[in-house]
Amino acid sequence: MFEHQAWTAERVDELRATTRSFIRETVIPRELPPGAHIDEDLREDLQSQARAAGVFAPQVPAAFGGLGLPIQHWSPIFQEAGYSPLGPLALNCMAPDEGNMHLLSEIGSPEQQKRYLGPMGRGEMRSCFGMTEPHPGAGSDPSALRTRAVRVDGGWRITGEKRFSSGAVGADFSIVMAATELEGNRGATMFLVDMDAPGVSIGDLVHTIDRAIIGGHPHVRFDEAFVPEEQVLGAAGEGFRYAQVRLGPARLTHCMRWLGLARRSLDTALDRTAKRELFGASVNELGLAQALIADSVIDIESSAAIIERTALLLSEDARAGTALSSIAKVHCSEAIHRVIDRAIQLLGGDGVSEHLPLASFLNEVRPFRIYDGSSETQRWAIARRAARARAREVAAGEPERDILRMAAR
């Protein structure tokens, strides 16, 4: 019911309200017990119900099965989806598919979009992303890339190993970053690699504390896997640049989804502290409890504000938006963790028990301070950009007030 209509503020509010009802009435009752893994039957069933509710794939272009919502309007919808760990999966806006769909929509050829983006947008395919490697390969430092692609007749052969390939078990294809040499210059290229191609195999599963990503975080090995020329994503040698196209929005959508879970955690704490009495008063009337609640409200609202600003900047200036997404990612990943941790503290023994989902929520968000670039790596990049931007201001002889745009140059 939202397709092919202008996205006015009223239409976004309507979609948000519909998403809110869908998550609370349909998705939350289907949540799994702590430690359980999501299977394909649950994914397909929830996505079918999301289609029927008219909230499926809000961020995907309408031509590829989605609602075509512009990025500056994603946050309220993704937050509503993130109120349940299963919500983003149900709406088909979960990592890594969401980031891969965005990348394909930006740089994929029409043929690639038809073969991969369309089926993904309709929920018929799943994908993974191959960047992180076993040590000493690429992790926080993408220049350490050890997976190699060599040009051969008709295409390329890829050899190497990835790990933390989120979603790889059951995925149909992977976007793989591999080092390439073109005219003597070493760079990187992105490839669309079918997971059933000869030479591609899934290795050991990396067992982590989070469970929300279907398909786990396994190793994926490439043993001279052949990739046809038409499955080079974008231009050969431009992989590092394309990684930034993906990472800026992908970092931000993680912030949006997990902020929804922070809101639910605070709601849970507020509901229970209003009913529980301690020392002759409701817990939420006690000064120490109020300080925890207030700090959580501050963390939630400041996170929402920086997400909104970053999304708007990404829609106007992708490079500057990507720079701000580093700041948003550090702030939100740490603030969201604090909110859920405070909710647990407010609820005492119940908070750390399996009677409530808060402990499992904490397990879901804790890795976010590492995934998509650790907080320490982001701080390093933020500081370097700030120093370089200020040096350019000084060299120019007059103040430059827009440090983000300066830093992105």
Look up the CATH architecture of domain 240-407: Up-down Bundle (1.20)
Name the pTM for this structure. 0.93
What is the CATH code for 127-236? 2.40.110.10
Look up the CATH architecture of domain 9-94: Orthogonal Bundle (1.10)
Mean of pLDDT values over 163-171: 96
- Domain borders along the chain are 9-94, 127-236, 240-407
Query: What's the pLDDT score for residue 161?
Result: 98
Q: Is 186 left (phi over 0), alpha (psi -120 to 50) or beta?
A: beta
What phi, psi does 251 have (nearest 5°)? -60, -45
Query: What's the pLDDT score for residue 369?
Result: 96
Query: What's the pLDDT score for residue 164?
Result: 94
Question: Is pLDDT of 2 > 60?
Answer: no
Q: How confident is the model at residue 89 (pLDDT cuts 50, 70, 90)?
A: very high
| Percent of the chain's residues with pLDDT above 90 | 85
d(CA 137, CA 296): 38
User: Alpha-carbon Rg of the chain, whole angstroms?
Assistant: 22
Residues 38-77: tens digit of each pLDDT: 999 999 999 999 999 999 999 999 999 999 999 999 999 9
Question: Is pLDDT of 401 > 70?
Answer: no
d(CA 245, CA 236): 15
Residues 328-341: tens digit of each pLDDT: 999 999 999 999 99
| Fold match, 127-236 / 240-407 | no
